[in-house]
Chain A
Amino acid sequence: MGHYLIAGKILRVDLTNQKISEEPTNAYFEQFIGGRGINAKIIYDGVTPELKPLDPDNIITFGAGPLTGTEFPGSSRTDIMAKSPVTNLLGNSNVGGHWSPEVKFAGYDHIVIQGKAEKPVYISINNKNVDIRDAGNLWGKDTWETQSLIKAELGDLDTQVMCIGPAGEKLVCYATIQTCMGDAAGRTGMGAVMGSKNLKAIAVRGTGGIKIADPNKYSELCKEVYNLLKEHPSYQELSQVGATRLTDLFGKINYIPLENFQKYTWDEGKEISCEDFLKKYLYKKVGCFGCPMRCKEFYKVPDGGDVVLSCNFYSDFIWRLKNSDMKLFLEIASLCQNNGIDQISVAGIISWAIEMFEKGVITEKDTEGIPLKWGSRETIIPMLKKIINREGIGDILGQDVKTAANQIGKGADKYIMHTKGNPLYGSNIAPFRGSALATAVGSRGDLMRSIPLLELNRVLISAYGFDEATLKMYEEYYDDLAEKITGKRKAAISTEYEGKSALVGYYEDIITINDMLGNCKWISSYLDIPITPEMQANILSAGLGISIEADELFKAAKRIRCLERAFDVREGLTQFDDTLPDRLFEPLPDGKFKGERLDRSKFEKMKEEFYTLRGWDTKTGIPTGQTLEKLGLKEIAEDLSNRGILSSTKKKSKR
């Protein structure tokens, strides 16, 4: 009877015929563990290349992991997957908050949605009771009000809600799914997929428990993890000042691109201190379920309202748009959260528009009289609102970048900074060769699924103002770590190419492991915190009552990554899509890395090394039949063979 750690059931809801069904999680668990892993399998099996991302039959799946909802710190994550309207490939975003623990308390590990409701609806899950309810009165409401209204309607304030805002309803390509206070599944347009299904929200309430095979041991091990975590400098930093101070440091090392990746220095930026802003207006540090890190900041700003921020907001809406007005910054951030739109994409799209305006590709005729200027409130606010409401030029820019560029014409595509259609993060990746590689080959077409933080950290420490001896100590620490991971000390140095494929592979595995366990990667080896896959495997073993080794977690991570890749190649992805915009291969114009250039042939060589390391074809990047079989994905190999994608194995058999 019963299950340990996992809830044991996957809930499927078909909105077209209102069919609700369940299936056991066990069928997936052994190979794909949970979260992103099981999601990938469900999407691979259910979403074929013929389906368009906003077709009713596209599937969107929400997954918790085996550690979700337990004492393991940061076990709050929900992994969301669907075919992406941004990339037309596998879309994926991972979000914190309180939602997926509640899903497990309700008795489910995954919630899989297919079909399209006739009218706006939301799904209410209360333990075994699953209801598809009218959302007519919620349509058009912002993401905060939607959550409050649903809680009030259901009469239980402990209900947890995932929802879309007006941007998702209007099918803005970069729409997010939001939960709690400003937590967003931001990337790859998962909110647009929900919108296309007329699905406003999923509300969950559960009163069941997660069973543990060895509660005492589980608890003891989690206490050890807590103690390790609390002693670590990353914890001290994130729990006190979040990622806010990081933005100031990023500015110092010219890590944030300005003017659509044309510049990396900004004199006015030197005067801006996000740390001072935090000290002045921080009301409270807040966090997700089961998380001691509390990396988000709750601000109460006089005349600026209440905003919860973390991560990229500062770099996107201060630096990238050259905006030095903190009130405007808060206003933009609020608009994004309320309307459910991805701030990273929006910063990229508005930057693209401003550059096009400067280059004469678009004019005031296109923008309905709005002159587009960097750092201007009169540019940013109306453009943002146009995109959210799909009005005027915003209707064009609210689509995927390739379609938008085609409609604009006049060489508009030259100025989009994207990979696979996904607008780039606000990171100066060219002089960070590992990050450049990660952006090109990473899952979902962006940096964050495989960023080798080590090479960034080794540069970042130069901005802390340490004395020379301390700096040297840190540099050696990172060099040692790089050697340990890749066998090459040089891999720690950002501008080197050597060892970068192995470094990216390692970080990609670590991130995947956390995504499949339902953990926050910020509480793991990803941030050099000594909470390793070995420890995660021990805790998993205590919870499950069976022995699991770290090697098995690594193998599962490789399997999942390979499956995701297989999905993408089935969609038509080729090695030529694993690239970066031309601009990133030009010598850098200014800043710390002035004159540095990402060498195209060395970049291609890194790519080939990475493919080889992953067991993908060195030239085409298609997972080989042998690799797929070795990872237990024989049925995937057969599918790709039947479709003529795995030609090499077919040819061999014919010979």
Chain B
Amino acid sequence: MSKILTINVEKCTGCRTCEIACSLKHAGEFNPARSRIHNISSPEEGFYLPVACLQCSEPFCVQICPNGAITRDEITGIVKILEKRCVGCKMCLLACPFGSITFDSKEEKAIKCDLCDGEPECVAFCATGALEFKEAEIAVKFKKRALSDRLKEIYKGISFKEDLELVR
């Protein structure tokens, strides 16, 4: 069972620790511009979305890369750029519908999230749990739970019997 990076926007405070944790691990310096994850923030609305590669099952980037530099691991599902093979053509940036691939001007290579080979550094530093690394099958169960909680509130005060009658 492969694990995926889950994002709970309600929990994200836009602190950008994910960006600097990522850049230190991958680029050896604190630099959001060289991070593989980017926090897109709308502070006026208190809305923050960390954007990283979604690790598509049939990635456009893999298909478009002219030099076979992007591969997908069939077991882990991780889509990875082989740095040595990347020629810096930026076609993958063009192909990715989500803007999840960035260009590192310093190295002159395309960069993207590789889930730190199964131990994502951003998740280790995410204090609120907005980012989690979970089995795909249960990853978004928290949303179903939230839905259930909302319904639970509505159902308060309505007896089960009445409810059944409503259905009839």
Question: Could you list 19 further interchain pairs (A-B, Cβ under 8 angstroms) beyond the known A181-B46, A207-B105, A219-B121?
Answer: A70-B20, A71-B24, A71-B125, A105-B32, A181-B43, A206-B33, A212-B30, A215-B24, A215-B29, A223-B125, A226-B127, A286-B13, A286-B43, A287-B14, A289-B15, A289-B16, A292-B127, A293-B127, A306-B44
Q: Give the CA-CA distance A184 to B27 in the complex, in Å.
A: 33
Interface size on A, residues (CB 8 A): 43
The CA-CA distance from A209 to B106 in the complex, in Å, is 11
Q: Do residues A71 and B31 form an inter-chain contact, with CB atoms below 8 A?
A: no
**A212 contacts B31, C-beta separation under 8 Å:** no
In the bound assembly, the distance between CA atoms of A223 and B20 in angstroms comes to 13
Check: B128 CB closer than 8 A to any chain A CB.
yes
Instruction: Give a binary string over A195-221; 1 marks a CB under 8 Å from any B CB, 0 the rest.
Output: 000000000001111111001001100
Most buried by B among A70, A181, A211, A284: A284
CB closest residue in chain B, given A145:
B44
Q: Give Cα distance in the complex from A291 to B15, angstroms.
A: 6
Q: Is B124 positioned at the interface, with any CB of A under 8 Å from its CB?
A: yes
Closest to B124 in A: A223
Kindly list chain B residues whose C-beta atoms are within 8 Å of the C-beta of A284. Answer: 10, 13, 46
A209 touches B46 (CB 8 A): no
CB distance from B76 to the nearest CB of A (A): 23
B23: interface (CB < 8 Å): yes
Q: Which residues from chain A sit less than 8 Å from chain B, CB to CB? A: 69-71, 73, 98, 101, 105, 144, 148, 157, 180-181, 206-212, 215, 218-219, 222-223, 226, 230, 239, 283-294, 298, 300, 306, 308
Q: How far is the CA of A624 from the CA of B58 in the complex (A)?
A: 73
B46, A69: Cβ atoms under 8 Å?
Answer: no
Interface residues, chain B, with chain A CB atoms under 8 Å away: 10, 13-17, 20-21, 23-25, 27-34, 41, 43-46, 105, 121, 124-125, 127-128
Which residues of chain B have C-beta atoms less than 8 A from A218's C-beta? Answer: 24
Q: Which residues of chain A have C-beta atoms less than 8 A from B43's C-beta?
A: 180-181, 286
Contacts of A308 in B (CB 8 A): 46
- What are 14 A-B interface contacts by the 8 Å CB criterion? A69-B30, A70-B30, A207-B105, A209-B31, A210-B31, A211-B28, A215-B24, A219-B24, A223-B125, A226-B125, A288-B15, A290-B17, A292-B127, A294-B127
* Contact between B21 and A215, CB atoms less than 8 A apart: no
If A210-B29, A212-B24, A286-B46 touch, does A71 touch B14 (CB 8 Å cutoff)? no
C-alpha spacing A157/B48, complex, angstroms: 13
- Contact A283 B46, beta carbon cutoff 8 Å: yes
**How far in angstroms is the closest Cβ of chain A from B118?**
17
Rounded to whole Å, the gap between the CB of B66 and the closest CB of chain A is 27
In the assembled complex, the Cα of A61 lies from the Cα of B29 at a distance in Å of: 26
Are A285 and B13 interface neighbours, CB within 8 A?
Answer: yes
B14 with A209: CB separation less than 8 A = no
Looking at the complex, which one of B15, B17, B21, B31 makes contact with A207 (CB distance below 8 Å)? B31
The residue in chain A whose Cβ has the minimal distance to the Cβ of B48 is A286
Assess the A211–B16 pair: CB atoms within 8 A.
Answer: no
Residues of chain B contacted by A283 (CB below 8 angstroms): 46
Contacts A144-B44, A211-B29, A226-B125 given; indicate if A292 touches B24 (C-beta within 8 A). Answer: no
Report the minimum CB–CB distance from A295 to chain B (whole Å).
10
Name which residue of chain A comes closest to B127, CB basis: A292
Q: Let me know if A208 and B15 touch, CB within 8 A.
A: no
Tell whether, in the assembled complex, residue B30 and residue A209 are in contact, meaning their CB atoms are under 8 Å apart. yes
CB distance from A209 to the nearest CB of B (A): 3
B23 touches A209 (CB 8 A): yes
Shortest CB–CB separation between residue B107 and chain A, in angstroms?
12
**Residues of the A chain whose Cβ atoms lie less than 8 Å from the Cβ of B15:** 287-292, 294
Q: Which residue of A lies closest to B34 (CB)?
A: A209
Query: A residues within 8 A CB of B16?
Result: 98, 101, 289-290
User: Once the chains bind, are A71 and B13 in contact (CB under 8 Å)?
Assistant: no
* Chain A residues positioned under 8 Å from B46 (CB to CB): 181, 283-284, 286, 298, 300, 306, 308
3 nearest A-B residue pairs (beta carbon): A292-B127, A209-B31, A209-B29
A98, A208, A291, A293: the one within 8 Å of B31 (CB): A208
Nearest-Cβ distance from residue A142 to partner chain B, whole angstroms: 12
- Give Cα A235–Cα B34 distance, bound, in whole angstroms: 30
Q: In the complex, what's the smallest C-beta–C-beta distance from A87 to chain B, in angstroms?
A: 32
- Compute how far the CA of A288 lies from the CA of B20 in the bound complex, rounded to whole angstroms: 14
The interface residues of chain B lying within 8 Å CB-to-CB of A223 are 124-125
Q: Is the CB of A212 within 8 A of B13?
A: no
Q: How far is the CB of B19 from chain A (nearest CB, A)?
A: 9
Residue of A nearest to B106 (CB): A209
Say whether, besides A105-B33, A284-B10, A287-B13, A292 and B128 are in contact (CB < 8 Å): yes
Cβ of A211: which chain B residues have Cβ within 8 Å of it?
A: 28-29
> What residues of B have a CB within 8 angstroms of the CB of A222 in the complex?
125
Chain B residue nearest to A229 (CB atoms) is: B127
Residue numbers in A under 8 Å from B125 (CB-CB): 71, 222-223, 226
Q: Determine if B17 and A71 form an interchain contact, defined as CB atoms under 8 angstroms apart.
A: yes
Minimal beta-carbon separation of B146 from chain A (angstroms): 15
Given contacts A219-B24, A226-B125, A298-B46, are A292 and B17 in contact (CB under 8 A)? yes
Docked Cα-Cα span, A212 to B28, in Å, equals: 7
The residues of A that contact B10 with a CB separation of less than 8 Å are 284
